[in-house]
Structure 1
Amino acid sequence: MITRLGLFKKPSSFRLSQFQPRRFATQPQSKWLNKPPESVLFVKKRDDQVITTALKDIAQHVKRRYPNVALYQEREADALDGLQPWTASEQSPIDLIVTLGGDGTILHASSLFKTGPIPPVLSFSMGTLGFLLPFNVDTFPSAFDEVFTGKATILERMRIACTFHRQDGSEIEGCGEPGWQVMNEVTLHRGRSPHLNIIDAYVDGQHLTEAVSDGLILSTPTGSTAYSLSSGGPIVHPAVNALLLTPICPRSLSFRSLVLPGSSRITLKVSRTSRAPAEVSMDGQGVRVLQPGEFVSVEASPYPVPCVKRSADLHASRVDLEKRRTEMGERGLGDDWVRDINTLLQFNASFKNKHLATERV
């Protein structure tokens, strides 16, 4: 054992308990969804008859079992009878968002509340991707029981707030306060230009690098399994408070993805020497074009996305669940993220010889 002075102490006998991992106050903890919702907003993938049919069944179930709950649906062409139309501009009070579709449906729900807090989100998998979708649509009765009986826990997924600025530093209007809220990533890319972008990246006002590339991705831990991952970025657990800066096809082979503190303020400025402007995309949606000298400033949003998690035992009491978490940590209640990287991303899966597999059949 080494003391603070760097000198060796004489070995002594230790108990096993001395080597047990310590728990720190900063360890992420799930939060309980305490208040039963009084209003529910349904957000679904559009122009999909299967999802529309599922929404009818879910809405009827909620009406029968929880008759005093107000039900809304995002205003669209195929809105269902009996559900009140809702638009982001109306800002009617919403206590719970229910999404039906793929991961893009949650991103769309987040965009409906891009300038302020967002209610808890209960997500059902009915799309092409399911990394953000802990519940299968067939389990909707038990999922709603969890929410309305106080057994549901939520994981707060970081969002980032973005503001755009002119060359003189003045803010470009129309971005909202405290800036646009983004769940996955902000991307600056060359778009249709044949020339590479030159983007200066700053961390808390200090110049980090001049990036000559097809673009830069600044993502949340949730977005680490999206565009950033396809560009060679790391996979980061959503409970980690961090920002990821990932280059897109950089000219320098030594430019690798960086994991930065979640408390950082990141500035991405299109260099005045850049031959191409930078198109800005947020969660896959084109937002604007930044000309040379203009920049976007990004920092963690005060309004994360509270996502409802699955509980390990629907029949266990809340006291039992709290006791299990105390004894076993987060592992005691399971981790949707661990399940997803194994089942959806095939994390660390071994290569298989297709020829040998065919012969065995």
Structure 2
Amino acid sequence: MNIIVERDVWHALREQFPSLYTFDDPRSLSSKTDFVITLGGDGSILHVSSLFDQSAVPPVLSFSMGTLGFLLPYDIATFPNAIEDVISSRITLLLRMRMSMSLWQEPDQCLYLDGETSCRQLHFMNEVVLHRGRNSHMTIMDAEVDGEHLTRAVADGLILSTPTGSTAYSLSAGGPIVHPSVATMVLTPISPRSLSFRTILLPSSSQIRISVAPQSRAPAEVSVDGRAVCTLEANQSAHVQMSPYPIPCVNLAPGANARRAGSTKLSPKDDWIRDINTLLRFNASFVPRDSPED
């Protein structure tokens, strides 16, 4: 088995482990990688998504070493058995939907990112956010779905998230919690001027365009999965759709939960339900005071 690590890890460990490999161009990883191991928090999976932002993603085996671990089914103490389960195909995969985005100057001129010479799609796991940044004015943006005008948003920004991303920034902005198996895209406003602007769930087959209106006094800064991408000016837009390349996340092996991790889960399908209850404290009751009020 060959182990490929990122360059900074390789520099730190190459004397102790001379058999390690590294890479310079992430675009070559897809054809060389059978599965990916992440060590850290939920952001480690988002980082993997960014490494494979133009191609299919190998199965991702994630070990929780961070603060939340909503996307991480395995405890680091179980790593020998977990790797054995993957190699022996004793696991199930949850295909977490990604979205892809391209940037355009209206009507049909592609915007190139820094250093790019061709129009390309960015694939991401959680969300794309168009927001006013440090500008003092709200942004004015038009949202279209499958070529039809949906609404003009006057707000601090708009969030377009996947079901996985529904428990991240979108949730903080008042959006719903969506099961990762539901095929949908979640459009959530950030501090809209209109009180009637609420989150909308759109079919995953939708083609969505969000453009900065000519009347907007503020540009829209664009970020994907927390990474700044660019700034859109008036008459520039982001075109978003479901990506053909989901993230295949490794679930706990059936029957291995209680035996190896001390878990009370009944099956890999229970991971999400357990996590919204234990990590997000979904619908948790108020805790009574220890002593009566004065």
Compute the TM-score of the two structures, normalised by the length of structure 1.
Answer: 0.73
Structure 1 counterpart SS, 2:273 = helix
Q: Contact between 1:220 and 1:244, CA under 8 Å: does it hold in 2?
A: yes
Provide the residue aligned with 1:111 in structure 2: 50
Q: Contact between 2:112 and 2:119, CA under 8 Å: does it hold in 1?
A: no
TM-fit CA distance, 1:333:
4.4
Going from structure 1 to structure 2, the CA distance change for 1:87 and 1:354 (only over 3 Å counts) comes to farther
Taking only the aligned residue pairs, the percentage that are identical comes to 52
Instruction: List structure 1 runs of 4+ shifted beyond 2 angstroms.
Output: 86-90, 173-178, 330-334, 354-357
1:166-245 equivalences in 2 (<5 Å): 166-174=105-113, 179-245=121-187
Q: Is 2:22 aligned against 1:85?
A: yes
Going from structure 1 to structure 2, the CA distance change for 1:178 and 1:338 (only over 3 Å counts) comes to farther
User: Which amino acid counterpart does residue 80 of structure 1 have in structure 2?
Assistant: L
Q: Contact between 1:231 and 1:246, CA under 8 Å: does it hold in 2?
A: yes
Going from structure 1 to structure 2, the CA distance change for 1:177 and 1:132 (only over 3 Å counts) comes to farther
CA-to-aligned-CA distance 1:25-47 (integer Å, 9 cap, x gap): xxxxxxxxxxxxxxxxxxxxxxx
Structure 1 counterpart SS, 2:72 = coil
User: Which amino acid counterpart does residue 12 of structure 2 have in structure 1?
Assistant: A
Structure 1 counterpart SS, 2:4 = strand
Q: Contact between 2:111 and 2:119, CA under 8 Å: does it hold in 1?
A: no
Going from structure 1 to structure 2, the CA distance change for 1:90 and 1:293 (only over 3 Å counts) comes to closer
Compute the TM-score of the two structures, normalised by the length of structure 2.
Answer: 0.89
Which structure has the larger Rg over C-alpha atoms? 1
CA-to-aligned-CA distance 1:93-116 (integer Å, 9 cap, x gap): 011110000111110111001011
CA–CA distance in 2 between the matches of 1:287 and 1:226?
A: 19
Going from structure 1 to structure 2, the CA distance change for 1:122 and 1:333 (only over 3 Å counts) comes to closer
Structure 2 counterpart SS, 1:355 = coil
CA–CA distance in 1 between the matches of 2:33 and 2:168?
A: 28
Cα RMSD for the two superposed structures = 2.0
CA–CA distance in 1 between the matches of 2:58 and 2:150?
A: 36
1:129 to 68, 74, 77: 68
Which segment drifts farther, 169-178 or 91-100? Answer: 169-178
CA-to-aligned-CA distance 1:144-195 (integer Å, 9 cap, x gap): 1210111111100000010000123211134777610010000000001000
Structure 1 counterpart SS, 2:189 = strand
Higher RCO by CA contacts (8 Å cutoff, separation 6 or greater): 2
CA-to-aligned-CA distance 1:298-350 (integer Å, 9 cap, x gap): 000000000000123139xxxxxxxxxxxxxx975442111110110011110
Going from structure 1 to structure 2, the CA distance change for 1:300 and 1:76 (only over 3 Å counts) comes to same
Unaligned runs of 5+ in 1: 1-68, 316-329
Unaligned runs of 5+ in 2: 258-264
2:220 to 278, 286, 303: 278
User: Which amino acid counterpart does residue 259 of structure 1 have in structure 2?
Assistant: L
Provide the residue aligned with 1:155 in structure 2: 94
Provide the residue aligned with 2:36 in structure 1: 97
TM-fit CA distance, 1:256:
0.4
CA–CA distance in 1 between the matches of 2:83 and 2:119?
A: 33
CA–CA distance in 2 between the matches of 1:113 and 1:218?
A: 20
CA–CA distance in 1 between the matches of 2:80 and 2:182?
A: 31
Q: Contact between 2:163 and 2:179, CA under 8 Å: does it hold in 1?
A: yes
1:138 to 77, 83, 86: 77
CA-to-aligned-CA distance 1:272-319 (integer Å, 9 cap, x gap): 10000000010001100000110000000000000000123139xxxx
1:22-41 equivalences in 2 (<5 Å): none
User: Which amino acid counterpart does residue 278 of structure 2 have in structure 1?
Assistant: T
Q: Contact between 1:102 and 1:130, CA under 8 Å: does it hold in 2?
A: yes
CA–CA distance in 2 between the matches of 1:282 and 1:300?
A: 14
